[in-house]
Structure 1
Amino acid sequence: MPVDVETLFSWSSNLAMIGWLFLVFSPRRWEWVLFTAGILIPGLLSALYGGLVMAHFAGAEGGGYSSLGEVRALFASDEALLAGWVHYLAFDLAIGAMIARRADVSGLTRLVQIPILFFTFMFGPLGFLLFILTDGGWRAIARLGGAAEKGAAA
């Protein structure tokens, strides 16, 4: 029995939300948290995406990547639109997990990470940019602090 598009939309959205909740609220010292949010859930969403693309993109009349109109034609059906949505869910969550892992290593507190993860969840590339700027600034401050300590010791 085939599953309808709305049900797949709900399932995929809820699955991604579980991953985001893990990233924000679960202790990351538990290896399964980053595995679940960064590999397992994005992997399942990617498998769904692959199935949707194979089943529905090939027949998109007038669809292609050479113009905005051709891209619009690719997403003319609900199934293809769902594939695009699942693509966002999978990639944004995978990037969110990567950000969380790197932010932990850099020493960014969870309170600093939460807005970055929120922007990644809601606006994908803007959250990634916010992380790059925050992490870069944090590392620059740490380097300056280390240089100041070396100068004081000399």
Structure 2
Amino acid sequence: MVESAFSAASTLAMTGWMALAASHFGRLRSIRPYPEIIVPLLLSAAYAALILTFWAGADGGFSTLADVTLLFQTPKILLAGWLHYLAFDLLIGAWIVRANEVEGLPFALLLPILALTFLFGPVGYLVFQMLRLARSHKLGPA
């Protein structure tokens, strides 16, 4: 169950990322609710179900690195953590795409930023913010 849920969630997130990148093109902008709302909601619902069902029985916590290590030794909680990453990285990617509508970075720069955000979440966000700063001397949400 855990492995198939992991695969399904990863595939769902990947379709969200592909739709997000494709939504940059004017005629495909109408697909934006899929990567911006629908996929994150589905991942969030699955995350909530896992946390509500398995959190109480899991060892560990968030107090120390050792506690976090122990917590993520529970496969269903580890899966919940993966869903958390998938949902939030996609939300940040969607924010980057929306913010870029104001910033106007070329798609040739936006696409690698989205790839970085997909693979290494905060690194993509950092690169986008650095480019924004270099262009307009501002940081933070648009």
Same fold (TM over 0.5): yes
Match of 2:33 among 31, 35, 45: 35
Deviation at 1:103, TM superposition (A): 0.8
Find the counterpart in structure 1 of residue 23 from structure 2: 26
1:55 aligns with 2:53: yes
In 2: Cα distance, 1:40 partner to 1:17 partner: 13
TM-score normalized with structure 1 length? 0.83
Structure 1 residues 66-98: Cα deviation after superposition (integer angstroms, max 9, x where no partner): 111111121112111111111000000010011
Number of corresponding residues? 136
Q: Which amino acid aligns with 2:14?
A: M
2:35–2:94 contact (8 Å) kept in structure 1? yes
Match of 1:83 among 77, 80, 83: 80
The DSSP-based 3-state class of the residue aligned with 1:65 is coil
- 1:1-154, aligned counterparts within 5 Å? 4-29=1-26, 30-61=28-59, 63-140=60-137
Deviation at 1:106, TM superposition (A): 1.2
Structure 1 residues 24-43: Cα deviation after superposition (integer angstroms, max 9, x where no partner): 22345445322111111011
The runs of 5 or more residues in structure 2 that have no matched partner are 138-142
In 2: Cα distance, 1:47 partner to 1:113 partner: 29
2:24–2:97 contact (8 Å) kept in structure 1? no
1:75–1:81 contact (8 Å) kept in structure 2? yes
TM-score normalized with structure 2 length? 0.89
In 1: Cα distance, 2:88 partner to 2:24 partner: 22
The DSSP-based 3-state class of the residue aligned with 1:76 is coil
1:28–1:34 contact (8 Å) kept in structure 2? no
The DSSP-based 3-state class of the residue aligned with 2:32 is helix
In 2: Cα distance, 1:40 partner to 1:137 partner: 33
Identity %: 45
4+ runs of 1 displaced by more than 3 Å? 26-32
The runs of 5 or more residues in structure 1 that have no matched partner are 141-154
